[in-house]
Structure formats: C-alpha cells, structure tokens
Structure 1
C-alpha cells in the first residue's frame, strides 16, 4: 500500500523509489504484484508519467486512509511526546504561503525531525482527495459545505495603494470617490466593493485597466503604482510596515477575511495535519 501511495503522490516509479529509499526495480515489481493480486490495472503509463485508473484512484484513497490510521495507532502507542514522521502534503495560496507559511517551516521541521513536507502552491481551490493533500490553508468563504474545516485566524482587509499612485491620483475620502480611481482588480473577487461606517453601508462598482488572476500579480501591480485595491493586510504586511503601501478610507470598515485549515472530506484528519494546523494557528496569533 505504501509503495503504491508513494507512486501516485510522486507520479513516477523513480521518484517513489527515492522517497522509499529502495531501487526502482523493487517499486515496479511491487506494483506489478499488487495489480496481479487485485486482478485490476491501477496505473496508466504514458510519456507524461503515471496516473491512477479509476480503480487505482479508489484504491489510493482507501490505502492512504489506512496508512494514516496505522500511523495514528503507532503514535498513540508511542505516546504524545513522539515526533511526527512521514510526508505531509499542504496546499496554500502562493502569496500567503510565501509570506506566512514557508518562513515558519524550519521551526516546524526542527520540532519533527522525521517529517517531510510537500507544499502545493496554487491560488485555485483544488480537490484535496484527488491531489492527495492532507491539509489546505484557504482564505475567505468556503464554497464546499461538505469540507471539514477549522478557522485559524481572522485578518483585516483594507483599501491599499502605493504613495506614488496617491500622489498622482489623489487620496479618496469616501467610497464614492473610488469611481474616479483606477482599481487593480483581482479576477477571483467581485469588482463591487462594500463598506460600512456607523451602521451605514455603501457599495461602489470600481473600474480598472488592470485585472489579474493571481495574488502575486495584484501585489506587483499595486507596488508599481497602477491603482488601488482591496486586500488583506496579510498580503501586504512587509510593505505596510515599510510604508511602501498605505491604507486609505480607514474610517470605513471592510468585512474581515478568515483563514481556514481544510481537511479532506470523508476521513479523519491525520495527526500530522492537525499538528500543522495547530502550529499555523499559534504562529498567526503571535504575528
């Protein structure tokens, strides 16, 4: 089971062999014996690598869950003081991970010397089961009501712009003023911005010549003085501290943004996934 799971996770016999510290022929032989015993093809072999068949995907999901259950049993037997081991697959949005997750990994790995971490960086919402992800860090509203999720932190959102842009275009004093400004629009969010102050609400439809599909592009465009945007303070934390971007319309409130740990539906979160979520929660509270 472990060999097959590693082959699916890595996409090749050679990569799985390196992960398992065995020779590639041993991996190939193990998979062949498994397929012969089950009397079903588990993998599709092509020039692009290895992908599971429909039967292979079902076997992968059950096998990975069984391995995780065995790991849980071993950890319980050894006691809570034992470190984590194996491979933890984490997914997160690229910019958030670069600024707030990857810099924390050395400390987490120091605490768990036998653990490896695969970090999948993607701004899209991915299928955790299909991608073999143990825990995903997501921000905002969760679209999947069946997801097993835990809130880790709540972050402020602001209207942000570079000093160079504000010097050129002037500073807006109310939401209505945004209609006369260039907005850098994040294509994954609506271009209608809603504000609240003293119980009153105001919404404005913003326009901009620049639309980006990833947070890294949003950051780059704002820092280049191409317009203002709404973003979480997490996204521009270093630049806010250095004064390279400024908050405007601070008298108006924006809905905050939530950070979630999302676990694959249909099975219990692994000890590794829970420990990582706990670690991120503590780290965000201390930052």
Structure 2
C-alpha cells in the first residue's frame, strides 16, 4: 500500500463524507477507495471511520489521523515545490469556482499568462453565481464578492472595488438623469437578486437609504448586463461587472456625488481541506490582476 496515496484517499473521504464522492474526485472506482481505507485501518489496527445511513464520519482516532495526515501532505507538497525551485512552476490540477461574469471579464482572458508560467498545471473553472459546496465539488479556491455567509470559511480579501449606479446613455436620454438617490423611485431599475435591494448612499457625512424596485429581476449577472445594455433601465452594481463598458462609454455612472459601500473580492478556501500552494499562487495572481481593474 502506498502510504502517501492512502493518506490522500482518507483525507478526501473525510472531506466529502462518502466513498463514492471521494472516488469521483480522485478519478477511481469506489471499490478501490473502500479497499484502500480497509487496508489503512488494518495497518494501523484502529477504526478510522464510523459508517451509518447518514454517511461517513471519522472516529476520534480518525479525526486525529486526518488532521496530522493533512498537515503532512501539505508539508510534502511544499517540500516538492521547494526542491523543484520556483522556476519549475506548479503541477497537477487546480479547481476554481467563480461568479460567471467576473471570471469571464477579469480572470479567463488572463489565464494564458498563468498557464504559460505553469505548463504542467491544468485548471478547471466552475462558473456559478451562487456559492457552491467547495468540499463536495473538490474546489481548491473560490473567488467570491461581497459579504461571506459562511463564518467558518478560510478566506483572504484580495481586492476592493467600487459600486455605482449605472445606465446606458440611451436610457438616460429617454428617462432623464437622476439627481438624488430618491429619484431612483421614478426610474426603471433592473434588480440583481443576489444583492440587497436596500442601498445606503452617503454624501458629505450624511446617509440616505433607498429601497429600489423594478419590473425586471434577474438571478445572474449575465442577465443584468444584457438588460442594462439593452437600455432597459439603470442598476446598482459593482464597477467590475461593467468594466469594459465603463471604459468605452457604453454605460456611464450617475449620482457620482453620492457614495455607495465598496465591495470586496475574496479568495475562499475549503475549511476542511489543505490550502494548496496552487491555490495560494492563483489567489496572488488574481490579486495582481485586480490592481489594474476598474
């Protein structure tokens, strides 16, 4: 039995909670995973997992082994990278989760640079505007904007961006330009359901809260972009979401004398998995990219 592989398999079983999920992520059959765990328990002469109708949970011995094995494999990975040297780049597969529009505009166009620096690395990108289960999906790093709902997540803030009220010149020519936040009540507002509908504007130390509503509500940023670019109304969103159009003038900011809360971009790592060197370097890569973003 390969001790390194057995430890890696056990770690994946604990993190996914089942043999079948671990097998799927490892790219092997479920019997192979079951056999590996059985051999590991036989060698250690201790029960590592409790099997029930609700899945698999580690015993006390299994939890201790999991934590030490996870640290050991992380140290082994770091040792290999150090031995190969920085010029050798990264190896293996990196699974990234990101919001669709953000990845399409800011990450994917720059990926050739990252892949060229690491020719032995493969990247899987899972595009979803909703937060997914990082452990169940085998994700190494997730790029998420705004407040984080999971207080147990291991996260690092890598950028802060502005929010604005945006519209196309054609819509403003038709409907007029709002002069105060209260004027938004008289406009067609396209609502992005992933964000709050009550916004706090500030100006010269004074705060005004406005509840926005509209006839069109969309659940994905791509729909919001399509509606705004079709001159259907104005919206409150991050400048990142319309970066190319802000630069070209296809959309413009209104109420610029009023400030909206900024938005943070986070690199989120699975709480129960090792933070790999691949994930850390990718987070640094995105952080550097966002320094020049709108």
Give TM-score, length-normalised by structure 2.
Answer: 0.79
Matched, 1:213 2:214: no
Alignment equivalent of 2:124, drawn from 118, 130, 146: 118
Q: 2:264 maps to what in 1?
A: 258
1:181 CA drift (Å): 0.7
1:143 to 131, 141, 149: 149
Deviation at 1:235, TM superposition (A): 0.4
Alpha-carbon distance between aligned partners in 2 of 1:117 and 1:57, rounded to the nearest angstrom: 30
Equivalent position SS for 1:230 = strand
After superposition, the Cα gap between the structure-2 partners of 1:122 and 1:9, relative to the gap in structure 1 and judged at 3 Å, is: farther
The structure-2 alpha-carbon separation of the partners of 1:57 and 1:213, relative to structure 1 and needing over 3 Å to count, comes to farther
Q: Residue in 2 aligned with 1:184?
A: 190
What value does the CA root-mean-square deviation take over the aligned residues? 3.0
The 1:156–1:231 alpha-carbon spacing in structure 2 relative to 1, beyond 3 Å, is same
Unaligned runs of 5+ in 1: 18-26, 43-52
1:1-287 → structure 2 map (5 Å cutoff): 1=5, 8=21, 11=24, 16=27, 30-31=32-33, 33-34=35-36, 37=39, 54-55=55-56, 68-287=74-293
Aligned residues: 264
Residue 159 of structure 1 aligns to a residue in which SS?
strand
In the superposition, the TM-score normalised over structure 1's length comes to: 0.81
5+ unaligned residues in a row in structure 2: which ranges?
13-19, 42-46
CA 1:256–1:86: 2 relative to 1, 3 Å: same
Contact 1:65 1:267 in 2 (8 A): no
CA-CA distance at 1:195 after TM superposition: 0.4
Tell me if the contact between 2:158 and 2:267 (Cα under 8 Å) persists in the aligned partners: yes
| Alpha-carbon distance in structure 2 between the residues aligned to 1:204 and 1:30 | 58
Whole-angstrom CA distance in 2 between matches of 1:106 and 1:57: 41
